Each structure stands twice: as structure tokens, then as C-alpha cells.
Amino acid sequence: MAGSAGSGTPNGTGSQSSGTGGPNGSGASSGGPITTPGTAATADPTLAGSMVLRHLTQEEYINTVRDLLGDTSTQAINVPGELPIAEFDTFPFPEPSVIGSTEANSYEGLAEALATNITSKIGSILTCTPTAGDTAGETACLATFLKTFGARAYRRPLTAAETQGFQNLYQTGRTTLALPFNGAIALIVEEMLQSPGFLYHWEQGPTPTMHDATNPNVIVLDPYALANRLSYFLTSTMPDQTLLAAAAAGQLTTADQVATQAKRLLQDPAGHASAGVQNFFAQLLQITTLPTVSKDMTTYKNWTPALQTAMDAEFRAFFSSNILTGSGLFADLFTSKTSSVNKDLAAVYGLSGVSGTQMQQVTLDANRSGFLTMPAFLTVNGGANNSNGVYRGHAVYMQLLCHALTPPQNVVVPTPPPLTPGETSRQSFAAHSQAACAQGCHNLMDGYGFSFEHYDGIGQYRTLDNGSPVDSTATVHLDGQDQNITDAVQLSNLLSTSAEARKCFATQWVRYAVARPDTDADAASIDAAYSAFASANYNIRDLLVGVTTSRTFRYRTPSPGEVLP
């Protein structure tokens, strides 16, 4: 099964207009409002959403300079990061901030450091080595450099005006700054790394704008923009040579061509697709906050940086191995008991016989089921010294079921006092869902959260909480009906085949792919991606290919005021 992305699924050749047959169970009747767009019946298949102007994320920046310059020295702490998720935000992915002075200073420092590094190995980005004093040879080499390296740094060919700007900078470097040839090349690299062409996702090639025949308000995504969208979506880094060549040759035009490239990337030729898949889940479930989660080290004496690292590694590897080389099935994410642990993590699981710091494959016991019972998820959504049913319920309700919550009205909300002897975490929280003011929110999500009561603040299984038996039974409103569950294992089983969860999952991938909240213009595309997912027995690889061939991935609506080429 390895690498068989899109195994035998019709992946929407040109038929983005899946107008009919949208997924059922859109769950409008359940708890809170669902944020997924309208049903297929109203979705206009000719629409496509807008393209967000955003700069490289922290991870994209690090990966891109790795692939562009072969430089792996960049430390995350030095790279501008993303804004944290606001508490009631239904778009779960961190968004890059606007570039202000903090960010601009950071990019300058990074560019200077990377340019210094490349100076001593400039041959790795040059295909020519002019001899000193050979002015004509230097000029020719500069031109070659701008054409080849420039197209990689900007992830599209440079325009004539851009090329001229770099030639001028080169002259300044050679004269005013008295730099040798290699030094002037490094100066150009330093500039490129701070330029909008490198920093922003706005990869417009030389092709004139093509308006769509069926809807003139919608334009075809430029082949380079598409190559970049595909690459950053699936691999969290810049396009490889094959993809850039396909863009140059006009071979990213049809849905089939895009699907072919998507499947190729999912076969992970450079080992980057695993990073892409992991990135989606780490962001969706906010595992990226793991390093700064604060735990009470008196209660959890085993809470160490090494344990945090192991939790993170287990979580990420679980998704990439299941999706890229495993079955690829949605259900398995919730039910698989195969995972990888090291000694520290084995202790959290209560597993014996695991030694060393290396992660090794294990089969987890009956108290675990898929990613929701993994320590990474339970820790990020746990309290400092106990479980936290609200955080966990909130994560399932919003991230996995795509519900919206609105901030409560102006009321005084008590939180539980410290536990009295024998009082469980759940009992202390239970009061708030009785308060009339809190019922609107907490009744909707707390059931999900309380099913996790068997796991403490760092995900260790327990039968007693503060000396009293744990109660993990709950009633949740899922797929249009109230369902009684005994614990999180049973919740995971329910979610593994839930129509609401599947639909939400497809929606989240579309949001991630276009890096913005979805709108009505995306509704038909979400349905199309979902159809690809559903007709492949809910195989995630097919869903991902379906996302890339969808209308909103390959077309866009221009922004007001935009000047089209």
C-alpha cells in the first residue's frame, strides 16, 4: 500500500462541479451552528475563493532556505512565527502576522546570516566560475545565476525589471562596496531573502491572466502559483524541480495534471510529504504549543523537555505513517493502537519493556484508541495538575466537528475551587454546566471532554481521580442524535465513522490548503473534495488529491483593487 496515493479513485477529472451528492449528515440540527458552508444544493460550482496574501510561515521559511541554499542552521526562534489562535476562532490554523518592525528586523538578521554562510560555498548555487578579472565572463555568469537561482528563490521566473534591479545591486556591490564577484552574488542572496518575491506567497509567473469561461469573475490560478500552492500544501516547502518544470511547460492546467503531481508528492520523493501531513495535524490540534505548556512538576515528576519531545514525535509520526505509508483510512486515525514510544513515553503509557531514548513501535492497550488518547493531545488540552474536560471537549467540538462557539455574555463565571478530598476534576467542573449562563456553551462540548476523564493532565491512564472513581460516561450530540458513550475509546470509535467528523475533516483540509477560513465560494469545492474522500472509503490520500483538484484550489477570485497581469 505504500505510496499508493489516490489508489483507484476517480479524482475529479475536470468535474469540480460535484453539485449533487454532497455529504449527508451536515448536522445542522445538532448543538451549535456548524461552520461548514451550506449544503451541496446551494453550492455554486463555478465559484472559487480569494487568494490570501501571506508570508512564509516559520516552518515554511526554515524548509525553504534548507532547499534553496542547503542551509539547515536556521533556528525556529529567530524566524517570525504565526499569530496564536484566538479562543473562539473557527479557523484553527495559525496565521502569519503582518510584517512589522519585529519581523523585518528578524528577516534582515536571517538574510545576513544566510548570505554569510553561502559566501564560503557559493559554488553550490552557481553553475559557472568566472576567472578573476574576466568581466565578460562575470557578466554572463551573473545573468545565468539570476535566471536559474532567481527562479528558485522567487519560485517563478524573475521579471525583466527585477533582473535589472539585481544587476544594479551587483554593480553597487562591485564598486561602492568593493566586493569580489562571489561577495556580490552573496549580496544579491541577502537582498532576495528580504524581498517580497521570496517572502510572500504571490507567485505570479509571466502568463497573462486567464478568466474562466463559465464564470468570468473567476481566474485560473497562475501555473507557478498553483505549483507553489501544491508544494506548500503537501510538503511545507518550495516546489521541487519537477514541479517548477511542470509549471514552466504549462502542465499544471488540467485537474488530471494537478492530480498526477499531487500523487507524486504524496509518494514523498524527498521525504517532505511527511512534514506536510504532520504540520496539518500539529496545527489543527495545537500540538505546536507543547513546548510552552506549563505543568505542575510536583504532580507530574516525569514532566521533562525530553518527554515533551517524545510526545511530539509520537504524535507526528502516527499521522504521517498512517496516511502516507499505512492504510490512509480516516477511521484508523481514531482506532489504531499501533504507535511509537521511547522509555519516557512508555512510562506515561504504563508500558513495560521499553528502554532507551529511541522511538520504537508498540501496540497500545485497550485503554487507548488513536490520536485522541495520545499524551500529546491530552497534555496540550489538559490542566496543569489535572485533566481538563473543558479544554478537551472544546478541541473535539471545534477542531474535529467544526462547530462554532460564541463568547458568553457579560457574566461572572466562577471556576472550580481546589478539589476537596475525594472530589474529582469532573465534579468540580460539573457545576458550570448547571449554571444557566454557561449552558449555552458548555452543555454542547463538555460531554466530549468528560469522556477523557480517565487521562490525567499529561495523558496517564487512571481509574481514580483524587481518591474517587473516575466517571468518563457522557452523552454527546453527534450526527443528529444523542449518543451515550462510556469513555474516550468509545468516543473515538464513534468519531471514526461519524459523518459530521468526516465532513469537518474535509473542510479543515480545504481551509488549510487555501490558508484562510472558507466561504460560500468554497462550498462546492469542499463537497468535491469530500466526494473524492467518500468514494475512496474515506481514504485521506484521496481526500488530499481531491482538495488539489478542487475548483477553489485551482482558480481564484481576484481581490478588489488588484492589478492583474
Partner 1 sequence: MKEKYSRRALLKALGVGAGMLPILNNEWASAATAGTATAAGGMPKRFIAIAITNGIYQKNWWQAANGLDLTTGTLLPILTPLAPFRSKLLIPHNIAIQNVFNSNNYGGHFGYPCMLTGTQKGTSASIDTLIAQSVPNVPNAQLNLGCRPSNSHLSWKAGGVANTPNTSPSKVFTQLFSGVNLSPAQVSTTQARRKSVLDLVNSQLTAFQGVVGADDKVKIQSHLDSVRGIEKALTGEVLTVGCAPPTLGATVDFTQVGNFPTFVSLMMKLAATSVTCGITRAVTIELIDDGGGNSLTFPWLSVSTQNYHAIAHQGAGAAADKTTIDTWWHTQFATLLGILDGAAEGPGTALDNSCVLIANDMQEGNTHYDKNVPWLIAGGCGGFFKTGRVVELNNAANNQVLTTILHAMGLSTVASVGDMYTGNVDQQLGA
**In the structure grid, which three cell numbers stand for residue 431, read together?**
457545576
Q: Which of 3, 19, 38, 81 binds partner 1 (CB under 8 A)?
A: 81
By CB under 8 A, what part of segment 466-525 binds partner 1? none
* By the rule CB under 8 A, 209 interacts with partner 1: no
Considering just the CA atoms, what is the radius of gyration of the chain in Å? Answer: 26
| Contact with partner 1 (CB under 8 A) among 72, 101, 420, 463 | 101
Question: What are the φ and ψ backbone dihedral angles of 145, each rounded to 5 degrees?
Answer: -60, -45
Query: Closer CB to partner 1, residue 256 or residue 562?
Result: 562
CB of 112 to partner 1, least distance (A): 5
The piece of 212-220, 322-330, 411-419, 492-500 that touches partner 1 (CB under 8 A) is 411-419
Instruction: Report the largest interatomic distance among the alpha carbons of the chain, rounded to a whole angstrom.
Output: 85
Positions in 152-181 near partner 1 (CB under 8 A):
161-162, 165-166, 168-169, 172-173, 176-177
**410 is an interface residue for partner 1 by CB under 8 A:** yes
Which is nearer to partner 1, 453 or 479 (by Cβ)?
453
Query: What is the nearest approach in angstroms of partner 1 to the Cβ of residue 352?
Result: 28
Q: Which stretch binds partner 1 (CB under 8 A): 79-87, 205-213, 265-273, 459-467?
A: 79-87
Q: Which amino acid is at 121?
A: K
Residue ranges in 376-395 that form contacts with partner 1 under rule CB under 8 A: 380, 383-385, 391
Among 100, 133, 271, 353, binds partner 1 (CB under 8 A): 100
Nearest CB to partner 1, comparing residues 41 and 177: 177
Three cell numbers, residue 427: 465534579
> How many residues sit in the footprint of partner 1 (CB under 8 A)?
84
- For residues 362-379, one letter each, b for 16 or more C-beta atoms within 10 angstroms of the residue's C-beta and e for the rest, the string is bebeebbbbbbbbbbbbb
Q: Binding of partner 1 at residue 404 (CB under 8 A)?
A: no
Using CA atoms, how far apart are residues 99 and 201, in angstroms rounded to an integer? 13
- The residues in 525-564 that bind partner 1, with binding defined as CB under 8 A, are 558-563
Judged by CB under 8 A, the chain residues 40 through 59 that form the site for partner 1 are 53
Within 178-197, which residues bind partner 1 (CB under 8 A)?
187, 190-191, 194-197
Q: Which residue lies nearer to partner 1 by CB, 231 or 288? A: 288
Residue 305 interacts with partner 1 (CB under 8 A)? yes
CA dist 86 → 94, 403, 405, 412 (Å): 9, 15, 12, 21
**Does 439 interact with partner 1 (rule: CB under 8 A)?**
no
Q: What is the Cα–Cα distance from 212 to 16, expressed in whole angstroms?
A: 13
Q: Do 325 and 2 meet the contact criterion of CB atoms below 8 Å apart?
A: yes
The C-alpha cell 482506532 sits at 335
- Of 332 and 446, nearer to partner 1 (C-beta) is 446
CA triplet 75, 375, 339: central angle to 5 degrees? 90
**Measuring CA to CA, how many Å separate 227 from each of 191, 209, 223?**
24, 16, 6
**Strand partners of residue 555:** 220
Question: What CA–CA distance (Å, rounded) separates 71 from 61?
Answer: 11
Separation CA 503–CA 286 (nearest Å): 20
How far is the CA of 35 from the CAs of 40, 228, 243, 451, 547, in angstroms? 14, 28, 34, 24, 18
DSSP H helices, 425-522, are 425-434, 436-450, 488-496, 499-514
For residues 423 and 466, is the Cβ–Cβ distance under 8 A? yes
Minimum CB distance to partner 1 smaller for 176 or for 241: 176
Contact 61, 113 (CB under 8 A): no
Binding mask 106-145 for partner 1 (x = CB under 8 A): x-xx-xxxx-xx----------------------------
294 binds partner 1 (CB under 8 A): yes
Q: Which residues inside 322-381 make contact with partner 1, applying CB under 8 A?
A: 380
Residue 76 or 210 with smaller CB distance to partner 1:
76
**Of 22-30, 33-41, 75-83, 505-513, which segment contacts partner 1 by CB under 8 A?**
75-83
Of 83 and 140, the one with the shorter C-beta distance to partner 1 is 83
Looking at beta carbons only, is 103 or 471 nearer to partner 1?
103
Nearer to partner 1, 84 or 250 (CB): 84
- DSSP H helices in 289-336: 305-320, 330-335
Phi, psi of 272 (to 5 degrees): -100, -20
Stretch that binds partner 1, among 229-237, 288-296, 330-338, 475-483 (CB under 8 A): 288-296
Using CB under 8 A as the binding rule, whether residue 403 contacts partner 1 is answered as no
What is the amino acid identity at position 401? L
Sequence-separated (6 or more) residues with CB below 8 Å from residue 154: 162, 192, 197, 198, 203
The minimum distance between CB 245 and partner 1, in angstroms, equals 26
| Site mask for partner 1 (CB under 8 A), range 413-432, x = bound | xxxxxx--------------
Least spacing, CB of residue 402 vs partner 1, in Å: 20
